[in-house]
Amino acid sequence: MSIENKAAVKTIPLGASGLSVTPVGLGCWQFAGGVGFSKMFWKPVPQETATEIVRVSLEGGVNWFDTAEAYGRGASERALAGALAALKVAPGSVLVADKWLPFGRTARSIAKTFPARALALQPYPVDLHQVHMPASFSSVEKQMAAMADLLDEKKIKAVGVSNFSAAQMEAAHRALQKRGYGLASNQVRYHLLERGIEGNGVLSLARDLGVTIIAYSPLAQGLLTGRFHGDSEQLKKIGWARRRNSGLSREGLERSRPLIEELERTGAARGLGAAEIALAWLIDKNPGRVAVIPGATRPGHAALNVRALGVTLSAGEIAWIDELSARAG
């Protein structure tokens, strides 16, 4: 099967790495196979469904995928590679972002665990390798030195971090600069109801350093799609960890209702839904600097989310949604 990329999608640079990504990528945590902590968030996704999710994403113009060692201890990486292979996607024609799990580990484990990452993803290379969170026993400098070794050895093409504060991000960037590189990205939680990075220095420093922000949970794990506002009984079907993590409570739904109604109105005028507008807002508010990685367990949702690539919001729409988002936060 060959993928027809229907959309002529503009890409944005991934830091100064020379790589570029579509402003919408696909988050692949959902492919963790119900293993480990992931099962508190997502039901297992059969391989055929994962393949279909990847297919509709590619058809919609997406050129990259975010996965991690932590997502089912390799299950997500294997499911992504399996999907790409089933779709006969040529290695190197899409970009794969992976993550090293730093918990309880020193920087030495970056090199030690890399072969397992490469094996799980084979024949697709790890293009961007990220430190999943600032939780290693080693200093940021040591972690970046280990990542720079992988760059030197041409095993990866770019280095990113995730959940790093402004100070940690700057330390990572400076450490990589000493080796002739730079930090490509910081992956952080950023959505209309979680805008901490706008005030804590991460967004402005990323702009100054030329580091791309990758917005995770951009739909607040479903809340911003309006589907729970339309049917709050759906709250009963999801696990407590996800409910707690994303403000998926009856109170949370009521507080955000005016925002969701505006997202729905703005979407309806274009034949779209709230989800696409919530994603487009993150992209258009931060042109060229923020990419979003919505996840999906159903192909239909992935097919909707990629439509955000075709949306351009006016300055007035961005400002009004901004205002309602601030009131809901």
HSE-up of residue 12 (Cα within 13 Å, Cβ side): 23
Comparing CB distances to ligand NAP, the nearer of 129 and 132 is 132
Comparing CB distances to ligand NAP, the nearer of 146 and 275 is 275
Among 52, 66, 98, 284, binds ligand NAP (CB under 6 A): 66
Comparing CB distances to ligand NAP, the nearer of 3 and 241 is 241
Site for ligand NAP in 190-229 (CB under 6 A): 216-222, 225, 227
Amino acid type, 69: E
Determine phi and psi for 275, rounding to 5 degrees. Answer: -60, -45
Q: Which stretch binds ligand NAP (CB under 6 A): 47-55, 202-210, 293-301, 318-326?
A: 293-301
Distance CA 319, CA 285 (A): 9
Comparing CB distances to ligand NAP, the nearer of 171 and 192 is 192
SS3 (DSSP) at 61 = coil
Smallest distance, ligand NAP to C-beta of residue 198, A: 18
Q: Which stretch binds ligand NAP (CB under 6 A): 1-9, 25-33, 153-161, 249-257?
A: 25-33
> How many amino acids of this chain bind ligand NAP (CB under 6 A)?
29
Q: How far is CA 255 from its chain centroid?
A: 25
Among 11, 20, 113, 163, binds ligand NAP (CB under 6 A): 163
| DSSP string computed for 254-302 | HHHHHHHHHHHHHHHTTT--HHHHHHHHHHHHSTTTEEE--B-SSHHHH
Closest CB to ligand NAP: residue number: 27
216 classed as catalytic: no
Smallest distance, ligand NAP to C-beta of residue 42, A: 6
Q: Which two tokens stand for residue 41?
A: 């968030």
Q: How far is CA 128 from its chain centroid?
A: 12
Comparing CB distances to ligand NAP, the nearer of 50 and 89 is 50
Comparing CB distances to ligand NAP, the nearer of 182 and 226 is 226
Site for ligand NAP in 90-149 (CB under 6 A): 132
Site for ligand NAP in 294-323 (CB under 6 A): 294-298, 301, 304-305
Comparing CB distances to ligand NAP, the nearer of 177 and 249 is 249
- The set of residues, in sequence order, having a beta carbon less than 8 Å from that of 18 and lying 6+ positions away, is 157, 158
What string marks each residue from 241 to 280 as x (binds ligand NAP by CB under 6 A) or -? ----------------------------------x-----
Catalytic annotation, pick one of 71, 124, 181, 190:
71
Contact 24, 305 (CB under 8 A): yes
Smallest distance, ligand NAP to C-beta of residue 178, A: 25
What string marks each residue from 31 to 60 as x (binds ligand NAP by CB under 6 A) or -? -----------x------------------
| DSSP string computed for 112-172 | HHHHHHHHHHTTS---EEEE-SS--SS-HHHHHHHHHHHHHTTS-SEEEEES--HHHHHHH
Distance CA 127, CA 92 (A): 9
Single out the residue of 231, 188, 202, 220 nearest to residue 325, CA to CA.
220
Distance CA 44, CA 214 (A): 25
SS3 (DSSP) at 178 = coil
Task: Please report, as ranges, the residues that interact with ligand NAP according to CB under 6 A.
Answer: 27-30, 42, 66, 132, 162-163, 187, 216-222, 225, 227, 275, 293-298, 301, 304-305
Instruction: Give the residue numbers marked as catalytic.
Output: 71
